[in-house]
Structure 1
C-alpha cells in the first residue's frame, strides 16, 4: 500500500472511531440528563409523599432516614445505567488506525517514488544509474 493510501485508511479509521465514541458519549450524557431530571423533580415529590406516609409509623426522623436509604439505592441504579460500555467496532477502528500509522511511518517515500518511476525492482536499476553517474564523473577528472 502506498503512503497516501495508508494515511487515508488511518484517517477513515480515526473518523469511524470518533463517530462511535461520540455516540457513546451522547448516550451517556442522555442517561445522566435523565437522572438529573428525575433527581430534581421526581425525588422532590416522592420525598413529600413518602414522608407523609411514613411519619405516623416511624416519626419524622425515621421516615426521613428510610427515604434517604431509598435515594441512595436509586442513585446507585442510575450510576450503573450511565457507565461506559465496550464498543468492539470503535476498538477495531483504533487498532486499524494505529496499524496504518505505524506502516506509514515505516515507509520510505523516496524508495516508493523510485519504485513507481522505475518499475517493480528499483534497486538494480538505481545501482546501474549510480554506477553510470560515477563512471562519467571519474572520466571527467
Structure 2
C-alpha cells in the first residue's frame, strides 16, 4: 500500500522528478569531466649482487646487505633534472616517482607511475623499469653511472 501511494505521488509530481533526474545527471557528468580517473601502477626492482660475491655464498639472497648504497645512488640519479627530462620526454602526461621501497629490508627500488590512461601508465612504468641499467642489477659495485657511462 505504501508503495502504491509513493508511486502515485511521483506520478502527480512528475515534473519535479524529471527536473531532479536531469540535475542529478548533469552534476554526475560535470563531476566526471572535472575529475577524470587516474591510473596508478607500481614496479619493484631488486638489485642483485655481483657474480664475484655469489662465488663466496651459495644463497644470493644472503648477499643483499651491501646493496643499499648503490640503490640510493640509482634513486638519486632518477631525481636529477637529466633523468626527469628523459622520463618526461618518454611519457609527458605521466608522473613517475623512483624511490627505495621502505616496506622491504633490502635493496628494492620502487617505481610508482600515475597517468590518465591505463595504457599510458603501463607504458611509462615499462619505460622507467627498463631504463634501470641491467649492470646495476647484475654488478652494482662496478662504478658505472645509471646512464651506462
Q: Shorter chain as normaliser: what TM range?
A: under 0.3
The structure having more radius of gyration, on CA atoms, is 1
The answer to which structure, 1 or 2, has the higher relative contact order (CA under 8 A, 6+ apart) is 1
Query: Under a length normalisation based on structure 1, what TM-score does the superposition of the two structures give?
Result: 0.27
Q: Which has the higher strand share?
A: 2
